[in-house]
Structure 1
Amino acid sequence: MTLVELAKQLRPIIEQAVSTALDDATALQSVPLFPAWAEGCSVQAGKRYRYKNTLYRVLQPHTTQVGWEPDQAPALFAAVTLPTEGSKEHPIPAVRGMEYIYGLYYLENDTVYLCKRAGEAEGGKVILQYLPSELLGQYFELAE
């Protein structure tokens, strides 16, 4: 058996093993090891899949379909991110489908945004399929 054949044989086993076993920090260093999101697959809550070079966690079991891609379905997927300070000086990199925390700062294309919404307490969370620049005045304001 060649190395390429062995790698093809082991790939599904590796994908299954890493999909829930690794902590988020290690998983984010190993995104190519995770199975790619694909249409028509039955997915379970807690499993992680890669989509457009971003790692996403399944929030509720479902069968994948067009229109429910991880960056378009915040009720079904959340981007896996590392907890960082979230201060103005150390903002969290923003990606589609991530869980945002009210009162923390996020970075998108060299611009810093504060996650803030009238009537929402600091520390509250929301999963959004949009980037801060797309929700300016609704969920975000420019950091001063």
Structure 2
Amino acid sequence: MDMIKLAAEMRTALQYFVTTLDAETQLDKMLEIPSMFPAYEVGKAYKVKDVISYGVNSVGDPQLYQVLQDHTSAAEWTPDTATSLYKAIGVTEGGYPVWVQPLGASDAYNTGDIVSHNGTLYISTMDGNVWSPETYPAGWEVYAE
């Protein structure tokens, strides 16, 4: 069995699945698997509500964007600059990522990471932080800009 071909087929299947998620009601699920969303491509026809990845957010995860209007992408209209075409999701208006339950040590929050949880900004006070601010308040401090 060709493991590379199998892995490519699995990724394609997962990318089909992620297109069924809704950013309005299932954002938490989307943010758990940001690397599964297709990367932004120049010259591609996008439809309203498509979700793509482009660049990385402040904690190093792929940044997700939702398409706001049907269009064909162009090199000069990248998701991070064309705010009439794309909306960053999983981040606050100030650019802070929304807290997502880490899967383990590999994606845990570290000292100094700032996240938004239930509308409040928090800064992690420890490395390897896998708990939410409400589950383990000692691992977080309220952050003010």
TM-score per shorter chain, which class? 0.5 to 0.7
Taking the aligned partners of 2:63 and 2:89, their CA distance within structure 1 comes to 8
In the TM superposition, what are the counterparts of 1:47-66 in structure 2 within 5 Å?
Answer: 47-52=50-55, 53-66=62-75
| Alpha-carbon contact 1:20-1:47 (below 8 Å) kept | no
Instruction: Tell me the residue number matched to 1:69.
Output: 78
- Name the counterpart of 1:45: 48
Higher strand share: 1
1:8 is aligned to 2:8:
yes
User: Could you tell me whether the CA contact under 8 Å between 1:19 and 1:49 is conserved in 2?
Assistant: no
- The 1:72/1:111 distance shift into structure 2, 3 A limit, reads farther
What's the offset of the Cα at 1:19? Answer: 2.5
TM (norm. structure 2) is 0.56
Structure 2: gaps (5+ residues): 56-61, 91-97, 99-115, 124-142
Unaligned runs of 5+ in 1: 94-109, 113-144
Percent of residue pairs identical: 28
The TM-score, its normalising length taken from structure 1, stands at 0.56
RMSD of Structure 2 on Structure 1 (CA): 2.4
2:121 touches 2:144 (CA, 8 Å); kept in 1? no
Would you say 1:32 and 2:35 are equivalent positions?
yes
- Could you list the runs of 4 or more consecutive aligned residues of structure 1 that deviate by over 6 angstroms after TM superposition? none
Q: Number of aligned pairs?
A: 93
